[in-house]
Structure 1
Amino acid sequence: MSTHNRNPSGKNQHAHDADFEDQLAVGLRRYHREAKTDNKEIAALLLADYKITTSASTVKRRRKALGLSGGGATVKKMAKADAVQLVLNKVDKDPAKRAGVRTIRATVAFEDGVILTRQVIETVNFAPTMIFNLACRQIVWEIMQDHDGDSFALREPTAKKVFRVAKFPIGINQRWAMDGHDKLYKIGFPVYAIVDDATGKILKASVVPSNRFGEIVCYRFLCLVEELGGMPIQTTTDCGSETTLLFGVVNTLRHQFHPEIDSVEVPPHVYLRSVHNISVERQWLRLRLDFGDNCVLTFNKGTEDLKYNSNDPDQYELCQWLWPRFIQTGLDDYAARRNIIKMRKQSDKPGPSAMSRNTAYSLPETWGGRQCLQPVDIDVIRQMKLDMGGDALIAFSTPQFAARAQLAYDALGIQKLEQGNIWDVFRDMLPLVFPGRVLRSRTFSVSWLVSP
C-alpha cells in the first residue's frame, strides 16, 4: 500500500474559484436588495442574468454565509429602534408624504440592504393613517348616500368607464410602450420613458430637454435599441406630433431588417389613445408620488430660500447641468425600485403576475413568454444617432461647460447627489465653476415705492 498522501489538507471539495464566488456574491446581494428570498427563484435568476448554474441549497448556504436573511429572521435579530430608524429615514426623505408601506419596504431593501416585514413598517407610521383614511371615506360615502343619493346616478359613474380588452402578450420585447411625463416640466425638466408592455418593466426613464421634440423622442428609442441589441416587434405611443419621426424610423428599421414580418397584420408602430397605452401611462402616478412631487418641492424650496435665481445667467447655466444629473439619478433609482416590487396575483390574467417586473423580464418562461427582441445592425443604429446630432441632442449644457462643471463637482468629492444636499452642492460649485463670485442672495428693487 502506498504511503503517499494525495490530499494532505483533507479537503475533499472542488477547487476554489474566486471569480465564481465573487460573481455569485454580486448576484446574491443584488437580489437581496430586490427583496427576493426564494432560493429556487434566485437560482433561476442567477442562471438567466449571470449564467451561473447553482442549486437552491447552494444559494441558501451562500446567502447565510453573506448574512443575507429574509424579513422574519432580520426582525428577530434587529433591535426595534434600529428598524424604526430605517423606516423613519425614508419617511424623512418623502416631504410630500406620498410613499406607502410597500414603497418604503422596497426602498429600505434597495438602499440599505435590509428586508423588513410589512408589519414592522405599518406599526411605525402607516397603519393608523390608512385605517383613518378608509374610515373617513366610508363615512363620507354613507352620509352622501343617506342625504344625496340621487347625485350618484346623475354623475353616471359607469358611463365614463373606459372599455378595455385583455392583452395576451407572447413575450418580452414584443411591444414597447413609450410616452412623456410633463409633471416636471414646471421646473424645466421633462421626462420620457420606454416600458416593456408584457411585464411593465421600465426599460429606461430619461430626463430630456424636451419630450415634445420628435428628434429627441426618436433618439431615446435608438439609444435603447443600441443598448439591448435589438428592437421590439412593435412600438406604441399616443398621437402626439412628436412621434411622427419615430413612426418613420420604426417602419424603416422593420422593413430593412425584418421584412418577413407582415406589416399589415403586425404594424411596426401603433398609435393609441393615452387611456389605452396603459403600460407606460400607469407609471406616471407612482413616479409623481415616489419622486416627482418631492423633486418639485426641493426645487421650489431653493428658489424660495433665495438659493437659486433663474434670472442670473451663471446660476441658470449651472442649474441646467446639476439638476438633470440629480433627476436622472432619481429616475434610475425609481425605475430600479419599481421593477423589483412584486405584482399582485391575478389568476385570470394573461401574462405575468405574482412576481416582480425584473423576474418576469429575466424569466419569461415562468409565465409562458419568450424573448421577442428583433436583432438589428447596431452599426446602422449608431450611424443614425450620429446623423441626428449625437448626445448633444439630449444635453442640457455645452460640452465645454459640462467639462468645467464636472471638474468642480469632482473636486468637491460628492458621494451621492440627493435632495437633501443638492442646493448645498450648487452653492459650493458656483464659485468653482465661475471663479471670483459667490452665490449672492437676490435683492429686490423697491425704487418704485419711493415718490419722485
Structure 2
Amino acid sequence: MSSYNRNPKGKNQHKYDEVFELRLEAALRGYHCELKTSNHEISELLKADYGIDKSASTVKRRRKDLGLTGGAATMKKMAKSDVVQSVLGKIDKDPAKRMGDSVILPRKIVWEIMQEHDKDSFALREPTAKKVFRVAKYPIGIHQRWSCNGHDKMYKIGYPIWAIVDDAAGKILKAWEFQGMPIQTTTDCGSETTLLYGIVNTLRDTYHSDIDSIEVPPHVYLRSVHNISVEWQWLRLRLDFGDNCVIAFNDGVAKGYYNSQDPEQYELSQWLWPRFIQAGLDEYAAFRNSVKMRKESDKPGPSAMSCNTAFSLPEKWGGRNCLLPVDVDVIAQMKRDMSGDALIAFSTPEFAARAQIVYDSLHIQKLTEENIWHVFLAMLPVVFPQRVQSA
C-alpha cells in the first residue's frame, strides 16, 4: 500500500458557492420562523419551494450550525429567566395579548408563564361564536378555488383590507405571484364583488372555454358563514394584529399627534399607515400560513400539516395543482385600463415618491406600533417644509 497521501489537507473538489449558501440559509431561517422543526419535512420543502436537494441529515446539521433549534432544545440552552423574559417581552409589545414570537418554546411553558404573569389575557381569548351547520369539502387540489373577501373592522381608522385564500390548503395568497387563475372564485354578495365576477367570467371564457361554466361556474356567491376559508382569517387577524393596530392609531389621535382634519397630516398618514399595516399583514400571513393544522383522519384534504406544506406539496394529501394559465400581459393591460396601481393606492405617485425619500433619510429599520407616531412627527415638517416657515 502506498504511503503517499494525494489529499493531505482533506479538501474535496466542491467549490464554496456563497450565493447558494445564503439562499439556503435564508430558506432554513424562513422555515424556522414558520415553526417547522421536522428535518424530513424541511428537506421536502426545500426541493419543492427552491429546487434545493438536501437530505434530512444535511438539513439537521445545517440547522444546528445556524442555531435553529426546536422547543425542547431551546429550553436546554436557555436560562429559565431568559425564557420568562422572552414571553413577557412579547406580552408588553402586545396590548391585545394575542400574538406569538419567533422563538420556538414548548406551548406548555408559554401557557404556564402567561398563567403566572398575565392570567387575565386568557379571558380575552374565549370563543363566543355560535355553531353553524357545515358539510365536508372534497378538494381536488390547490388553485381549485380561491376564497375572497374584504375585512371592514379596520374601516374605523380608514383602511380597508382584502384577502384571497386557497380553499384547499387554507393558505393566504399573493395572487399576482402565480400568473394564472383558479378554476373558481367565491365571495359573499357584497357590492364590491361584481367587478370580480365580470373579470373571472371573461378570463374563463377567453382562455378556458372548454370548462363547462354551468357545471363549474367561474364565480360563486356564498353567504359569509359559508365562505369560511377566508372568513375565518378575519377573527385571527383582528386578535393577532388588527386590535393592536387600532389601539396604536387611536392612541396617537388621543395624544394629539394626529388631526385628520389637517390635509397635510391626513396625506402623510395615508402614506405611512398603509405601509405599516401592509407589513403587519405580511407578517400575519407568514405566521398563519406556517401554523400546523390539527390531525383529522376522516377529513378530506390536508390535515396534520401547515398551509404552506399543503400548498407546496399537494401530493402529500392526494391533491394536484389546478392553476389555469392566462396571458399575464392581457391582465397587466386590464389593470392599466382600470387606473393601475392608483386603484388601490392611498397616495398619489408624486407624494409617495417625496415621502419615501424623507422616510429613507431617517434610516428606520422597522415601523412598529411603538415608533410609528414618532416617525410621523419627524417626517411631517420635512415633507411639508412650509409648515415650519408658517410657524
TM-score (norm 2): 0.93
Are 2:352 and 1:402 equivalent residues in the alignment?
yes
Question: Where do 1:59-78 residues align within 5 Å?
Answer: 59-78=59-78
Which residue number corresponds to residue 215 of structure 1? Answer: none
Amino acid at match of 1:92: D
Aligned to 1:189: 159
Give, in angstroms, the shift of residue 2 of structure 1.
Answer: 8.5
2:119 maps to 1:129: yes
2:382 partner letter: L
What is the identity, as a one-letter code, of the residue corresponding to 1:162?
A: V
Matches within 5 A, 1:32-431: 32-97=32-97, 99=98, 103-104=99-100, 108-109=101-102, 114-126=103-115, 129=119, 162-204=132-174, 224=175, 226-431=176-381
Cα distance in 1 between the residues matched to 2:223 and 2:122: 37
Runs of 4+ in 1 over 6 A off after TM superposition: 1-4
Classify the secondary structure of the residue corresponding to 1:202. Answer: coil
Partner Cα distance (2:247, 2:8) in 1: 67
Q: Cα–Cα, structure 1 residues 249 and 131, in superposed 2: closer, same or farther, change >3 Å?
A: closer
Deviation at 1:131, TM superposition (A): 11
What letter corresponds to residue 369 of structure 2 in structure 1? Q
- Residue 133 of structure 1 and its aligned partner are, at CA, apart by 5.3
- Code of the residue aligned with 1:283 in structure 2: it is Q
Q: CA deviation at 1:227?
A: 2.2
Measure, in 2, the Cα distance between the counterparts of 1:78 and 1:2. Answer: 51
Give the superposition deviation at 1:429.
Answer: 0.5
| Partners of 1:48 and 1:237 in 2: CA distance | 30
The residue matched to 2:241 in structure 1 has which SS?
A: helix
Counterpart amino acid of residue 107 in structure 2: R
Take 1:281 and 1:342, find their aligned partners in 2: how far apart are those partners? Answer: 19
For 2:362, the aligned partner's letter is L
**Which residue matches 1:219?**
none
- Give me the whole-angstrom Cα distance separating, in 2, the residues matched to 1:12 and 1:84: 45
1:306-362 deviations in Å (ceiling 9; x for gaps): 111111111111111111111111111111111111111111111111111111111
Distance in 2 between residues matched to 1:282 and 1:77, nearest whole Å: 37
Provide the C-alpha distance between the structure 1 equivalents of 2:249 and 2:301, rounded to a whole number of angstroms.
40
Q: Matched residues in 2 for 1:13 and 1:262: separation?
A: 57
Q: Which deviations, in whole Å up to 9, do the C-alpha atoms of 1:359-408 show, x marking residues without a partner?
A: 11111111111111111111111111111111011111111111111111
Q: Which residue is equivalent to 1:149?
A: none
* Alignment CA distance shift 1:132-1:337 (3 Å): closer
Identity of matched residues, %: 70
**CA distance in structure 1 between the aligned counterparts of 2:331 and 2:216, rounded to whole angstroms:** 22
SS at match of 2:61: helix
State the 1:94 CA deviation: 1.5
Amino acid at match of 1:314: E
Task: Kindly provide the amino acid, as one letter, of the partner of residue 304 in structure 1.
Answer: A
Q: Cα gap change, 1:61/1:132 in structure 2, threshold over 3 Å: closer, same or farther?
A: closer
SS of the aligned residue for 2:146 comes to strand
The CA deviation string for residues 85-106 of structure 1, in whole angstroms up to 9 with x for no partner, is 2111211122123x1xxx52xx
Letter in 1 for 2:249: F
Shift of the alpha carbon at 1:171? 0.7
Report the alpha carbon displacement of residue 167 of structure 1 after superposing the two structures with TM.
0.2
CA distance in 2, matches of 1:25, 1:317: 40
Partner Cα separation in structure 1 for residue 384 and residue 230 of structure 2:
41
RMSD across aligned C-alpha pairs, in angstroms? 2.4
Secondary structure at the counterpart of residue 267 of structure 1: coil
Give the aligned length.
387
* Paired amino acid for 2:313: L
Larger radius of gyration: 1
Range with greater deviation from structure 2 (40-49 or 24-33): 24-33
Secondary structure at the aligned position of 1:194 is classed as: strand
Q: 1:250 to 1:10 in 2, by over 3 A?
A: same
- Counting only pairs closer than 5 Å after superposition, residues 429-444 of structure 1 correspond to structure 2 as 429-437=379-387
Q: Which runs of 5+ in 1 are unaligned?
A: 138-156, 205-223, 441-452
What is the distance in 2 between the residues matched to 1:242 and 1:67? 47
Quick one: which amino acid aligns to residue 70 of structure 2?
G
Q: 1:27, CA displacement in angstroms?
A: 1.4
**2:277 & 2:371 partners in 1: Cα distance?**
13
Aligned to 1:203, what secondary structure does the other structure show?
coil
Query: What TM-score does the superposition give when structure 1 sets the normalisation length?
Result: 0.81
Shift of residue 130, structure 1, vs aligned partner:
7.9
| CA apart distance, 1:82 | 1.4
